């Protein structure tokens, strides 16, 4: 089921999401809905907070940029290490029409659970690293325009 994507300045986007207690059918249904919503909007990532659900769940499919990477869902994602820094252009389905330069860690290690509840550890670089950091920021109530150059933040308002 496709869900509505909340758009800035919706106050729900500023809320910090709570951890998922158990990966069950409701969470798997949410993951399916999030993938459908993300694909319909032609995005590469989506956080549950962007569809009005205050749970720590993200979905990603960066294969349009790097076809070696498969789509993934991560429940309770947590960045456990960061290395380096790199600046790149980002956009967001919740801030349509706005792009900005954002400095992110070059590589990250993320742990969490897959959509079956199995432990997951992801070592990411490139677009996957950037997308993971962007979506985890959403779960912490942070939009990319808060990290971007002042011109991106100004054009969002």
Residues marked active site are found at 135
Asked if residue 34 lies in contact with residue 27, where contact means CB atoms within 8 angstroms, the answer is no
Phi, psi of 43 (to 5 degrees): -100, 170
Angle at 132 between CA 128 and CA 138, to 5 degrees: 150
Sign of CA dihedral 57, 140, 151, 126: negative
CA distance 107 to 65: 17
Bridge-partner residues for 124, per DSSP? 108
> 9-47 as b/e, with b when 16 or more CB fall inside 10 Å?
eeeebeeebeebeebeeebeebbebbbebbeeeebbbbb
């Amino acid at each position: 089921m496709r869900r509505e994507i909340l758009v800035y300045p919706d106050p729900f986007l500023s809320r910090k999401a709570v951890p998922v207690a158990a990966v069950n059918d409701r969470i798997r249904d949410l993951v399916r809905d999030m993938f459908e919503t993300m694909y319909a909007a032609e995005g590469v990532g989506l956080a549950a907070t962007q569809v009005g659900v205050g749970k720590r769940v993200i979905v990603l499919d960066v294969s349009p940029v790097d076809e070696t990477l498969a789509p993934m869902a991560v429940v309770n994602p947590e960045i456990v290490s960061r290395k380096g820094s790199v600046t790149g252009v980002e956009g967001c389905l919740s801030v349509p029409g706005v792009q900005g330069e954002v400095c992110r860690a070059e590589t990250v290690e993320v742990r969490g659970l897959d959509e079956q509840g199995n432990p997951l550890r992801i070592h990411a670089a490139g677009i996957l690293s950037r997308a993971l950091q962007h979506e985890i920021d959403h779960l912490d109530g942070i939009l990319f325009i808060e990290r971007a150059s002042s011109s991106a933040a100004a054009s969002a308002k």
